[in-house]
Amino acid sequence: MTEKIMLKRLKRDHQHIAILLDILNNKNNRLIEGEAVNFNLVRDIVEYMQGYAEHSHHPLEDITYHYYVKKMSVPNSEQLRDEHDKLAQVSGSLMYSLNMILSDIVISREKLINDLANYIKLQVEHMQYEEQEIFPLFAKSLDDEDWQKIEQVCHKKLVDDPLFSENDNAIFDDLRAYIANVDRKMML
């Protein structure tokens, strides 16, 4: 993979995550208004984020960042890794609450609203940090040979996106159908 392809993948992942965060924000606004929400859909989004973003996308960013630090002999900031750890914690907590709700165990509406809002806020701020601070460093400092080395290290972590790829993965079929329906409504 060349530099363009790897950075394009990271940026495309962010575009997909932004779509999901918009859906979560819409669902949270509905919760605030006291409306009914499809908690299975919300759980599917968080599950996707845990399964793909936390186990493929974030490791690719971490490995690339550490490669960049080593190559450029610059001080290693722990901010990227710390944010990834925090996001994993927050998504785990949110998933726990969602699973409780789906098991008919009462969770405070205010707690869920606050947890969901916090999760969305952390995700958005994290992507902004990466797009404004981290990705430009990669684009400026890493060449095709660097990206080839990074790809070799990341090979086991690089998986096809289970939601936004053209594969036959049926795990997120309901979520995929929901997104397609939302896209059609926006085009009308």
Contact by Cβ (8 Å): 2, 135: no
Q: Which amino acid is at 135?
A: F
CATH number at residue 174: 1.20.120.520
Neighbours of 48 (CB within 10 A): 21
Residue 166's domain comprises 3-187
Q: Is 106 exposed, middle or buried (0-12, 13-18, 19+ CB in 10 A)?
A: exposed
Structure tokens at 111: 């707690």
Number of structural domains (the chain) is 1
**Tokens describing residue 51:** 């399964």
Indicate whether 165 pLDDT > 50: yes
Q: Is residue 157 very low, low, confident or very high in pLDDT (cuts 50, 70, 90)? A: low
Per-residue pLDDT tens digits for 8-54: 889 999 999 999 999 999 999 999 999 999 999 999 999 989 988 88
Write the pLDDT tens digit of every residue in 60-107: 999 999 999 999 998 888 999 999 999 999 999 999 999 999 999 999
pLDDT higher than 50, residue 137: yes
What's the CA angle centered on 133, arms 53 and 80, to 5 degrees? 45
Query: Which stretches within the chain are classed as H helix?
Result: 3-32, 39-48, 58-72, 79-102, 109-129, 135-141, 144-154, 173-187
| pLDDT category of residue 127 using cuts at 50, 70 and 90 | very high
Q: Which residue has the tokens 């998504």?
A: 91
